[in-house]
Each structure stands twice: as C-alpha cells, then as structure tokens.
C-alpha cells in the first residue's frame, strides 16, 4: 500500500517487521545490507534463517545437478557430431577449468568485495563455469548464509564507527 504521496507504506507486513528487528540501533544507526534469499535475517539468525539456508543449499545443489545433466546432453551432441576426441577433451577441460575458476571466484566473493572491472572481464569465463558457482553456494550454505561473514564484518565496523561518532548520550556533559 502507499499513502497519498505515492511512497510505499512499510509500517505493516514483513518489510516493516524486518526493519524493526534487523539489529540496527534505534535512532538512525547503520542498517545491515540485505543478502540475496535472506534479507536481513542473517543479523540475528531469525525469520526462517535456518530454513532459508537449507533451501539455498538444496536449491543450489539441485541446480548444479540439473546443469550437469544439460552439459551431458551437450557432450552427447559433440559425440554424435563425431568431431573427434580432441574437441571432446578440449570442451571437457574448458568446462572443468572454468568451473574451478568460477568456484574460487565465488568463494572469495563471500569474504571480500570484488573489483567491478575485474568481474566484468571475467563475466564470460564465469558464465561458462556456472556449475562451480552453484557448488560454491552449496558448500557455503552448509556453514552460513553465502556472504554473511563479509556483511557481518562490514556491519560491525559501521556500528562501531557510529557508536564512536555518537557516543553514549547519557554520558554527555550538558552545556550551560
């Protein structure tokens, strides 16, 4: 719903509830950055966090399995076309290397921010190695929400900086 000005009404429903329980200090402190599939439930591990983690793990593993099935059909097509063993080996090695690089890139992305220019240059390679990215999501979801560690570190630093900047209002001296 929205009011007369056209701004969305977030006082009711899940959006308003998430804003109240996101762990951010009241009074304009830093807000946690939402994660894909998790929103801000990663802060306090509430609002179905465990079920979402299980869903991400199962979903990414199922997507990786389905992707491998599609790749099998592609390899069957190459074999039917009788292109020769060299091309078949070349394609298998290409997918293996690209998947390994995509896994590593995705895994590192859970712990630090990537350079956008480097990511743009790797876009094609990462698209070919999509199975590696799916497997990285699966393995990370077994221990935490993918990207939670990075976001938690950034959020804690922002909260500390905000606390240092604002201090404890009850300890401030009054000016006369």
Residue 105 belongs to a domain = yes
Residue 37 belongs to a domain = no
Residue 168 belongs to a domain = no
Residue 169 belongs to a domain = no
Residue 115 belongs to a domain = yes
Structure pTM?
A: 0.72
DSSP characters over 54-75: HHHHHHHHHHHHHHHHHHHHHH
Residue 112 belongs to a domain = yes
Q: Which pLDDT score, from 0 to 100, does residue 136 have? A: 95
Residue 171 belongs to a domain = no
Residues 6+ away with beta carbon under 8 Å from 114 = 105, 108
Average confidence (pLDDT) over 9-24:
41
pLDDT by residue (tens digit) across 24-79?
445 577 888 888 888 888 888 888 888 989 999 999 999 999 999 999 999 899 88
Residue 18 belongs to a domain = no
Q: Which pLDDT score, from 0 to 100, does residue 13 have? A: 37
Q: Which pLDDT score, from 0 to 100, does residue 16 have? A: 37
Domain count, the chain: 1
pLDDT by residue (tens digit) across 101-139?
999 999 998 888 888 888 898 899 999 999 999 999 999
Q: Which pLDDT score, from 0 to 100, does residue 162 have? A: 84
Average confidence (pLDDT) over 159-170:
75
Q: Which pLDDT score, from 0 to 100, does residue 169 have? A: 61
- Between 98 and 12, residue with greater pLDDT: 98
Q: Residue 160: what are its φ and ψ, rounded to 5°?
A: -65, -45
Which residue range is the domain that position 110 belongs to?
A: 42-155
């Amino acid at each position: 719903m929205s009011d007369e000005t056209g701004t969305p009404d977030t006082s009711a429903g899940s959006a308003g509830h998430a804003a109240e329980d996101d762990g951010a200090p009241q009074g304009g402190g830093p807000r946690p950055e939402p994660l894909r599939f998790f929103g801000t439930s990663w802060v306090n591990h509430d609002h179905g966090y465990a079920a979402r983690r299980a869903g991400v793990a199962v979903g990414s593993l199922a997507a990786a399995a389905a992707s491998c099935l599609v790749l099998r059909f592609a390899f069957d097509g190459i074999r039917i076309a009788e292109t020769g063993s060299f091309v078949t080996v070349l394609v298998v090695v290409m997918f293996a290397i690209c998947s390994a690089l995509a896994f590593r890139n995705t895994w590192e992305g859970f712990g630090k921010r990537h350079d956008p220019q480097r990511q743009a240059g790797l876009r094609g390679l990462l698209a070919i190695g999509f199975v590696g990215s799916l497997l990285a999501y699966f393995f990370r979801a077994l221990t935490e929400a993918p990207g939670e560690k990075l976001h938690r570190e950034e959020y804690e630093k922002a909260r500390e900086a905000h606390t240092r900047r604002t201090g404890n209002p009850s300890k401030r001296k009054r000016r006369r």
